[in-house]
DNA sequence: ACCTGAACACCGTTCAAGT
DNA sequence: ACCTGAACACCGTTCAAGT
């Protein structure tokens, strides 16, 4: 591993590799130096300190994820699906898939509060589709944000569930038939583990349907 | 601070106090020992190690948060609002408020993947309301889970945004009028910061409306 | 049953010194 | 401009020894 001179990019690459394999806790300045075959202190010259090294990794990840959705601010129809609602679902599915391939780095993006920033390109695609569905102005903006929050939120919940240890009480105990004698089918359904993919599509579809629907003369349940 | 004998609960109280004030990073075994006036190693006798100490704090928080919603598995109408939809919104609002008062501890709950566990009592309330709205069986279960995921997800997104550093590009730059010349009102709306409370209610209302609506003969946009 | 100090194996970071 | 080793001030944890 002899090398003429150390580069900031080499430091970032090695750090990313450590994080991808074993998570951020495994990223130690000393381990990293060993990996690079340099003195610990050389790293400081290139990246400042551990915290800004992690920041740089996160920054990189945000840019990579932003690039997966083709930019379409000036028109065009970059996504599959016949209706705007279908294409919104397609955006949602793409994001879901990509995120699941970089769990550690995405977790770090979350921890730094940059999840939303990472989704700005997706937001542009959503604007396009909501517009195509006929929404305009502030109402379109609300719809875009509601959909974006829902997609991102669902993914955050899902990540949360995956890292959950054994739960007590589990849903399966909580919802044994005795707990809901009046609707055993409901109890049985809640005792089964959720199917996230199905629930994801079902939820996004429901929200999109309501948001893209023509405004009712009086919205039901709009108490205030 | 002289004390006859150290208690596991005293350790937890002191630890919780440190975390509440300065976050989990400030919880050092040595600082904690100093706070308690004991040797560092005494703490190990009572709580095992740092990791299980943090686990215990999280466990406590989950129980506290679970207690804020009255249990209503056997009937009764514990929540304000005239319609089931209104009462679901009331659940959502309550959870949102309570979570915002314990930021550090809630963050630790998130990191351990226990957010969903924390919301099981709320799930029971949602079951009650969805049932009151006439949904049954698997369809009711899907609705409950979709609503639960949305509420939890929104809160996770919101937390994410709050911790976000200065963003580049900010939404306000991304959506300057030049970016969307065909709908300047939309661009202006997206350039303004989102109002989370409003968006939260709007989103939950939209989703609930769609989920509680009588099943359409053919759902629009249900492409597969 | 509970508490203690000493010791171990780690950390991130600073700094004066080298080339 | 870049790299180095030594040193500092921390960590969490173990363990033999005390009462």
Cross-chain Cβ contact B206/A205 below 8 Å: no
Kindly report the pTM of this predicted structure.
0.87
- Count of CB contacts below 8 A, A vs B? 212
The shortest C-alpha distance from A200 to chain B (Å) reads: 8
Q: Do the Cβ atoms of A165 and B141 come within 8 Å?
A: no
In this prediction, residue B77 carries a pLDDT of: 47
- Residue B71, chain A, CB below 8 Å: the answer is no
Chain B hits for A127, Cβ within 8 Å: 180, 186, 190
- Nearest Cα residue in chain B from A172: B120
Distance separating alpha carbons of residues A43 and B63, to the nearest angstrom: 44
Whether B83 and A161 lie within 8 Å, measured CB to CB: no
The protein residues having a beta carbon less than 7 Å from any atom of strand C are: A 27-31, 40-41, 44, 49-51; B 5-6, 38-42, 45-46
pLDDT in tens, B82-106: 999 999 999 999 989 888 888 889 9
Query: Residue B224: pLDDT above 70?
Result: no
Buried/exposed B37-52: b ≥16 CB within 10 Å, e otherwise: ebeeeebeebbeebee
Nearest chain B residue to A139, by CA: B186
Q: What pLDDT score was predicted for residue A90?
A: 93
Domain residue ranges of chain A, discontinuous segments joined by +: 70-214
- Chain B hits for A154, CB-CB cut-off 8 Å, are 149-150, 153
Instruction: Indicate left, alpha or beta for B213 from its phi (over 0: left) and psi (-120 to 50: alpha).
Output: beta
Cβ–Cβ contacts within 10 Å for residue A78, how many?
A: 14
Stretch B117-145: mean pLDDT, rounded? 93
Query: Residue B70 — pLDDT band, cuts 50, 70, 90?
Result: low
Asked whether the predicted pLDDT for residue B182 surpasses 60, the reply is: yes
CA/C1' separation A202–D2 (Å): 57
Hey, which of A178-182, B26-30, B184-188 has the most confident mean pLDDT?
B26-30
Taking a C-beta distance cutoff of 8 angstroms, is the pair B154, A149 a contact? yes
Q: What is the pLDDT of residue A70?
A: 63
Measured distance CA(B18)–CA(A84) in Å, rounded: 50
In this prediction, residue A179 carries a pLDDT of 64
Report whether pLDDT(B147) > 60.
yes
Average pLDDT of every residue of chain A: 87
Average pLDDT score over residue span B196-212:
96
What pLDDT is attached to residue A161?
86
Given CB atoms, is A222 within the 8 Å cutoff of chain B?
yes
According to DSSP, residue A20 is labeled H
In sequence order, what E strands does A48-176 have?
A: none
Among B73, B149, B223, beta carbon nearest to A82: B223
Question: Does the domain at residues B70-214 carry the CATH identifier 1.10.357.10?
Answer: yes
Interface check B197 vs A, CB under 8 A: no
Residue A168: its pLDDT value, please? Answer: 67
Residue A44, pLDDT score: 98
Question: What φ, ψ does residue A38 adopt, rounded to 5°?
Answer: -130, 180
Flag the least confident range among A5-14, B24-33, B94-103, B147-156.
Answer: B94-103
Per-residue pLDDT, B31: 97
Count of other CB atoms within 10 angstroms of residue B14: 20
pLDDT band at B116; cut points 50, 70, 90: confident
SS3 B80: coil
Contacts of A120 in chain B (CB under 8 A): 169, 171, 174
| Positions in chain A whose pLDDT score sits under 70 | 1-4, 70-79, 167-169, 177-181, 216-224
DSSP string covering A111-143, please? HTT-HHHHTHHHHHHHHHHHHHTT--HHHHHHH
Cα–Cα distance for residue pair B140/B133, rounded to 1 Å = 9
B142 at interface of A, judged by CB pairs closer than 8 A: yes
Q: Do A150 and B146 lie within an 8 Å CB cutoff?
A: no
pLDDT, residue B75, reads: 46
Which pLDDT score, from 0 to 100, does residue A62 have?
A: 93
| A199/D12 CA-to-C1' distance in Å | 42
Tell me the pLDDT band of B219, cut-offs 50, 70 and 90.
very low
Q: Do B207 and A202 touch (CB under 8 A)?
A: no
- CA of B4 vs C1' of D19, distance in Å? 14
């Amino acid at each position: 591993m002899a090398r003429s001179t150390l580069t900031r990019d080499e430091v970032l690459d090695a750090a990313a590799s450590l994080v991808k394999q074993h998570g951020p806790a495994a990223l130690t300045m000393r381990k990293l130096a060993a990996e690079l075959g340099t003195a610990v202190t050389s790293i400081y010259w290139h990246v400042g300190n551990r915290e800004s090294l992690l920041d740089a990794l996160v920054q990189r990840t945000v840019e990579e994820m932003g690039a997966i959705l083709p930019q379409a601010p000036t028109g065009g129809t970059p996504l599959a699906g016949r209706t705007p609602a279908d294409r919104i679902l397609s955006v949602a599915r793409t994001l879901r898939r990509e995120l699941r391939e970089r769990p550690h780095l995405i977790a770090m993006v979350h921890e730094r509060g940059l999840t939303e920033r990472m989704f700005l390109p997706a937001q542009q695609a959503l604007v396009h589709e909501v517009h195509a569905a006929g929404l305009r102005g502030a109402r379109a903006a609300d719809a875009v944000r509601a959909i974006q929050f829902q997609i991102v939120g669902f993914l955050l919940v899902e990540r949360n569930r995956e890292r959950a240890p054994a739960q007590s009480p589990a849903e399966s105990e909580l919802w044994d038939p005795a707990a809901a004698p009046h609707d055993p089918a409901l109890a049985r359904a809640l005792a089964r583990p959720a199917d996230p993919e199905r629930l994801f599509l079902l939820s996004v579809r429901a929200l999109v349907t309501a948001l893209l629907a023509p405004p009712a003369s009086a919205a039901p349940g709009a108490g205030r």
